[in-house]
Amino acid sequence: MTSKQGIQPEDLYHLKSVADPQLSPDGTEVIYVETRIDEKKKDYISNLFYIHLKDRTPKQWTFGEDRTSSPVWSPDGSQIAFLSTRTGQPQIHVLSKAGGEAKQVTHCKNGASSPVWSPCGKKIAFSVKLGKDESILDKVEDEKKEEKEVKPLEIDKMKHKSDAGGFLDLEQFTHIAIVDLESGELEQVTEGNEHFHLDTWSPNGQYLTYLADKAEDLDFSFNIDIFLLNVETKETRQLTQGTGMYYQTSWSPNSRFISYVGSEREFENATQAKLWVYDLQDNVLTCITGEFDAPIGDFAIGDFLQGVVTPRVQWLNDNKSFYFQVTDHGNAAIYFGNIEGEIYPAIHDDQYVYGFSLDAQQDKAVVAISTTTNPGDLFYINLQTGDREQLTSINEEFLKTRTLSVPEAIEFEGAEGWKVNGWIMKPVGYEAGNKYPLVLEIHGGPHAMYANTYFNEFQILAAQGFAVLYTNPRGSHGYGQTFVDAVRGDYGGNDYQDLMAAVDYTLEHYDFIDQDRLGVTGGSYGGFMTNWIVGHTNRFKAAVTQRSISNWISFYGVSDIGYYFTDWQIQAGFDDIEKLWHHSPLKYVDNVETPLLILHGEKDYRCPIEQAEQLFIALKHRKKETKFVRFPEANHELSRSGKPMLRINRLEYIRDWFVKYI
């Protein structure tokens, strides 16, 4: 009898994602987004699926070969608004629950996003991008016309590009508009040369909330404030006071309380997000999680799920209680809270909760959950008793044909005696008494967290016969404010010692690891650390560095975030070149003896490809063993949401390099 094989790179074509569940207002139906990769088109396809909680049978509601996202129930539960790229640009469509074709309700030149229903159900607010001299009434131009004339790009702002958006049109701004569903009439409710990011509509219909940064010099402002826009008078009220970054508003059903997430950036981008509640009646602001040492929201990192939307705080009908997402000790959990400051976990198991939608009347929720051996499914959970019913089994049949490695949680002593958590995976086909090579995986961020969730790359390495070690060294979220802040100013210091302690612990406690066959890889910060490791130790037989940083001096000027990220993380700018160089792996290139594979996307603006080019040339000049692979049209998100074929190519390169050298 032939044993089942483990996960292979091309299995991406067979695995599916479910995400963004949305319960109907009466709590009896759920709509969600299913994403798969079409093997012929070699592209992502996402559609809406529907489940009635009485019969629990998933039904497909849209059938296009494009991308569908952002489903939102109308207040009466009779319709669904959603975004679709079926006509090119993402536009808002409305689908009746009774059936029939979806109706396109926006035709905006630059597309539309963020649909938000009015409480009366007759209108939808949305976000729209408008360039110089463009109007909300401008429609999508005929794509068949000749290509636009190539023109020079004038830049007078430091913030002029982003990894997600490429080079920015500095004369284009995000505004808020409203469409009347009966008449089709459009109303633009914001104007001017600034960005207004639509958030929510108050249940009483009085306010729209939006996010904006009103600073005069946006190049050196990193705050986001919350504003209330009176729908009738168009008057605005600033709710937060320009002291931090705030987002994700959510309303109590009676519109008295507004919750939001954010911080005053006490530790810059290492600051844990908190949950705040503002009482509009008494003008009282309360930080609900001020004494709670964990970040609000989703800081788990992965390489598989598509279409994940971080869930907002969701209120119960009592107007004083709510549920919210927390990142904590390798898990993403759901907590209960109330305006009196009571907090306790509602769903806190060894798993990654990546979405939930609350039935505010019955204290139940539809919850999206991934585990180390289940890429992700939807569950119907009683938040009081914990009872759960599985609603989808989207990858069950395919995974029956594969063998997965089950990670084992570990805890060990890192630098300075700090406790550090991680996981070790045995190779697929493990047999006691045999020795196996080990690959150390290092996450990016660094302010992110490996979690109890499915990792495609790790399973592929395990299928190839490697043990896999992955940890959350200092700098990771989920282990308290002191822990996440500890890496700043110390890149390559105690974070490096934490990782080496993880390897030492594993070799001491797991006798099936061959200490002479070790590999290391990581991306972004993990790529920096891979570069750092091979410049400071020769204990690894092979390494793969991905979308990495090698030179903080040049990174300062070429990354979309470089000029402030170096200040925040290395705690040095151009006034301290010596410190930037001290923390640059390129400085230690003479020490590198480990064969190093360099993987990088051509359009990575977060860690630009010149970081890889410098490292490659320096290694080749010194006759070191290295190879450089450039991925066309790929940005910093290649491993997570890049072109499917390139994602598969990347996995094959990693696997094959380790097979060759260890």
Catalytic residues: 524, 636
Write the Ramachandran bin of 233: left for phi over 0, alpha for psi from -120 to 50, otherwise beta.
Answer: alpha
Locus of tokens 């410049």: 535
Nearest to 70 by CA among 137, 130, 1, 116: 116
CA distances from 568 to 44, 270, 436, 564, 565 (A): 36, 9, 40, 6, 5
Strands 225-230 and 626-631: unpaired
Sign (positive/negative) of CA torsion 252, 253, 256, 258? positive
| CB contact set of 73 (below 8 Å; sequence gap of 6+) | 22, 23, 24, 25, 31, 79, 80, 117
Strands 321-328 and 314-315: antiparallel
Omega prior to 446 cis, within 30 of 0: yes
d(CA 174, CA 162): 15
d(CA 125, CA 247): 18
Q: Residue 210: in which H helix or E strand, if any?
A: strand 207-212
Rg over alpha carbons for the chain, rounded to the nearest Å, is: 25
**Contact criterion met (CB below 8 Å) for 512 and 430:** yes
Amino acid residing at 361: Q
Sign (positive/negative) of CA torsion 486, 490, 494, 498? positive
DSSP state of 12: G
Amino acid residing at 597: L
d(CA 482, CA 1): 53
Helices (H), 392-489: 396-399, 456-463, 481-485
Burial of 482 (0-12, 13-18, 19+ CB in 10 A): exposed
d(CA 551, CA 545): 14
d(CA 357, CA 361): 12
Neighbours of 453 (CB within 10 A): 28
DSSP state of 588: G
DSSP state of 662: -
Strand segments, DSSP code E, in 155-196 are: 161-162, 166-167, 173-180, 186-188
DSSP state of 181: T
3-class state of residue 377 by DSSP: strand
Burial of 571 (0-12, 13-18, 19+ CB in 10 A): middle
CA angle 334, 339, 340 (to 5 degrees): 105
